[in-house]
Amino acid sequence: MKKIVVLGAGESGLQAALLAKKKGYEVFVSDKNNIPTEVKESLNSAGILFEEGGHTWENISDATIAVKSPGIPQTAPIILQLRENGCEVISEIEFAARHMEGANFIAVTGSNGKTTTTSLIAHVLRSAGWDAVESGNIGFALSRYAQEDSRRDIYVVELSSFQLEDMPTFSPYVSIILNITPDHLDRYDYDIEKYADAKGKVFCNLASDGLAIYFGEDEEIRKLLVRYPISSGIAKFKFYTQQPEADLYFGALREDDILVALPQGRFSFKLSELSLKGVHNYCNIMAAIAATLHAGVDLFALKEALRTFKSVPHRMEDAGIVESVHYINDSKATNIDATKYALGAMADKDIILILGGTDKGNDYTTIAEEVKRTSLGLIFMTKDYQKLEQQLGSLGIPYVVSEEVQHTVRKAHEMAKEYGAHTVLLSPCCASFDLFKNYEDRGDRFKEAVKTLL
């Protein structure tokens, strides 16, 4: 009997362990942190042995496969030791897919827009009558679906660069790279090429009749594809043009519509009829159009689904209006470009901007002009505010530092009333782990704090 060790007892780790047990493996779960009580109860019920508070080499050294949490870096001593010992180290997605023969996957990655695009594709497919589900970074872990007795029509999987590092055989039907901008550079030796190479793995094992979809004007994607050319079908999308080149671009964003080139002719999607707004969302929509048309969705169903889609939580989410001040929760903006997109949708000199969290090698000077254009006041909500203060504190915009969300929201309201701002925008630019469990926790607590102002 082959032994599998699962490193990390989060939701994906738990489901991978349960799947491995169902498939007849000897399973051991190891977590360097404490394991939540409910997870331990699930493991005990399944007869799965586990340890917490550290990895014991004697307990895992005889494993032939290790399913690792994406948060564990490749350079972690335990990973190096396992590989040196001949153990194959893979991601939970890879492990699940190996036990889902015949399943159809649409894989979505990129520095920004992954969750919106994944959710949009699944919405379009379900609206057209497909049994489609979201998985990966959103929805349930793929290993949970792998335990089901029957297969869904399509699994739309959101993938981070961390997950893609350990997916040598995962073979999607459609793969999408939305964009590549600096993010998680602390994980990649502050080298964007290494980060891009991790993203590019999503194109490596495309099905023979698969489709690679990407933003054709992204410089890092263009450089990536020089290093790793694509052999499958290609659908590129781009920004403004009068007419996409028939053989070069699938779709193009114009002033009032999205123009799509298909073998049977050209079709347009009026921007006024789309539920999502903003240039960054139009890129997400073009990727979703390409993916769902390739899957076989008809144009009428597609247009109707694009009209009815509702934006995902924590992405430019309405958090309420208090005394004529509009609060917006953009907690999912965990990198520079995500916040840049949010600021691009804001009016001049009209907001109090809340920034900060766990820095990932950010250069905040790249958004300085947008911050200066839009912001009347800044709040750095983080323990580690020195870099924000150094790079944005000299813009001449009043700022304060806060380490508690209730205090942040109260202070933002005071500043909005004092300086005449009509909007308070939480768009942190950073990961959430210094003060919160995750970006959802940060956004939820922000919304709760806004309610206390009422």
DSSP notation for 217-274: T-HHHHHHHHHS---SEEEEEESS-SS--TTT-SEEE-SSEEEEEETTEEEEEEGGG-
What count of other Cβ atoms lies within 10 Å of the Cβ of residue 256?
9
Task: Tell which residue, 119, 107, 111, has the closest CA to residue 311.
Answer: 119
Which of 65-69, 94-98, 355-359 is least confident? Answer: 355-359
Whether 285 and 384 map to the same domain: the answer is no
114-127 vs 279-295: helix crossing angle, rounded to 10: 40
Of 308, 338, 371, at which residue does a domain stop?
308
For 349-380, what is each residue's pLDDT tens digit?
899 999 999 988 889 999 999 999 999 999 99
In the chain, the number of structural domains is 3
pLDDT grade, residue 344 (50/70/90)? confident
For 17-60, what is each residue's pLDDT tens digit?
999 999 999 999 999 999 999 999 999 999 999 999 999 999 99
For 367-414, what is each residue's pLDDT tens digit?
999 999 999 999 999 998 999 999 999 999 999 999 999 999 999 999
Whether 237 and 351 map to the same domain: the answer is no
Is the predicted pLDDT of residue 248 greater than 60, yes or no?
no
Whether 298 and 388 map to the same domain: the answer is no
Is the predicted pLDDT of residue 274 greater than 70, yes or no?
yes
pLDDT grade, residue 253 (50/70/90)? confident
pLDDT grade, residue 177 (50/70/90)? very high
- Token pair of 277, please? 């707004």
Whether 352 and 204 map to the same domain: the answer is no
Which of 53-67, 69-83, 121-135, 331-345 is least confident? Answer: 331-345
Whether 178 and 267 map to the same domain: the answer is yes
pLDDT at 246: 42
Q: What is the mean pLDDT of residues 80-100?
A: 98
Whether 223 and 241 map to the same domain: the answer is yes
Whether 281 and 376 map to the same domain: the answer is no
pLDDT at 242: 54
> In which element (H, E) is residue 284 found?
helix 279-295
d(CA 26, CA 267): 54
* CATH assignment at residue 229: 3.40.1190.10
pLDDT at 345: 83
Whether 363 and 418 map to the same domain: the answer is yes
Hey, which residues does 67 pair with through a beta bridge?
A: 6, 90
- Token pair of 112, please? 């920004």
Average pLDDT, the chain: 92
Of 284, 308, 332, at which residue does a domain stop?
308
* CATH assignment at residue 26: 3.40.50.720
Of 308, 341, 372, at which residue does a domain stop?
308
Whether 74 and 45 map to the same domain: the answer is yes
Whether 281 and 417 map to the same domain: the answer is no
Give the chain's length.
454
Which of 156-165, 203-212, 322-331 is least confident? Answer: 203-212
pLDDT grade, residue 241 (50/70/90)? low
Residues of the domain holding 75: 3-86
pLDDT at 148: 97
User: Does residue 288 or residue 454 have the better pLDDT?
Assistant: 288
Whether 301 and 329 map to the same domain: the answer is no
d(CA 217, CA 3): 46
